[in-house]
A and B are shown apart, each in its own frame.
Chain A
């Protein structure tokens, strides 16, 4: 129903077989939920282990002659420290416009394999992968190229029991800490794994050749601790973890300072001040911005969705950019932008839901503690 003409990931048929309710998302038919529903899937992931098909995301390699050349090429587009990445390390970063606006967020990983010296792997959001890849390719210098990997699938295995699930199938996984990667095999299937994800939980993201993806997913799903989880719970999990949804919680009109993502700009890049929009972003860091992204907790039970206006004493002071219900938090939760002087946790605000003011307060993110494995 309405799914004709949509692209299908290598795992789409398996997701349907498992009872996934398929909906259009970023041009793909993706499971929004399974039979258990969003609440149970969300809680299962927080307590056990969820398997997510995230093959719609954009995987690519940036390939240059040596690590430093490739890293510098990406540093010209993003504020991360990639030159300083050790083999196997991964970083969260931001693709910036020349004005310092955020086009997208992404993961950048240096391969641990000496054979891939000079290669950096990137993973961008599904909704923006065409634009991101075009922008990156156009802005790379001679000698460094973008190599999209459309024939790779991506599986996220997330939750406090993810390590317990993976360990017997992949001995390499147990030594890894958060934001580390390895080229390895799971049950004999070659893949590239990183200890990362977007749920706030410990877990792994597994990049695998498309033709092996279904075998790998079936192998992981054999564990009684693993259930398939849909996009609905993926969204509530990342919102509870205080993580941004690209295109909602930021876009090209927001800088990393607006978006409260300055932790993604390491000190060495402040000093170099040579990333896109650096002059503006560094000025905003010292002088502040008009608005800031904050967590917002509605004090009643009514959720406030994206687009909800935020008022103080009847005056517009900002807008919700992501909002819904936090199943583990046990109530409605949201993120949005407010006037910078109102960004302190505990500040009382009103959310205008269907014409009525509902009390809310600025809340220190995340809504639930992050549970990453740091060794």
Chain B
């Protein structure tokens, strides 16, 4: 059974065991506006929590995406290269960014669940 987590940087992680699918939240996609380009991390890259590993460019600006936890990138959503607008259409589904294996699942403990994230983005 997978579980959904959110970070304060507006990323979501769909975690199943020690693997996670990562993207940006529907809320974040709405705030960014029309996404026109995404720079995805190289697969098999090892990342530490907090590293900047991807970039989302909207019409207005560029935003860094940080590694939500430490681990190794196992896949990137190449479909976003030709269809970056997928992030606006389906941020928490088809608009996923990358998959990773998590080095230390205890790093998930500080993250928010869906209800806490909804509260976090309320104001």
Contact = CB atoms under 8 A, between A and B. Distances in A.
A236 interface: yes
Interface residues of A, number: 18
Given A38-B60, A325-B59, A354-B55, A303 B33 contact: no
Interface size range on B against A: 10 to 19
Contact of A236 (B57, B59, B81): B59
Interface in A30-56: 32-33, 37-40, 42
Nearest to B62: A305
Nearest to A33: B33
A203 interface: no
23 contacts: A32-B60, A33-B33, A33-B60, A37-B34, A38-B33, A38-B34, A38-B59, A40-B34, A232-B33, A232-B59, A236-B59, A301-B36, A303-B57, A303-B62, A325-B36, A325-B37, A325-B59, A327-B34, A327-B59, A332-B36, A332-B37, A354-B39, A354-B55
Contacts of B84: 301
Contacts of A33: 33, 60
B34 A302 contact: no
A3 to B, nearest CB: 15
A236 B58 CA distance: 12
Interface string A295-313: 0000001110100000000
Nearest to B88: A37
A302 B33 contact: no
B57 A325 contact: yes
A301 B37 contact: yes
Contacts of A305: 61-62
A303 B39 contact: no
B96 to A, nearest CB: 19
B122 to A, nearest CB: 13
A100 interface: no
A329 B76 CA distance: 28
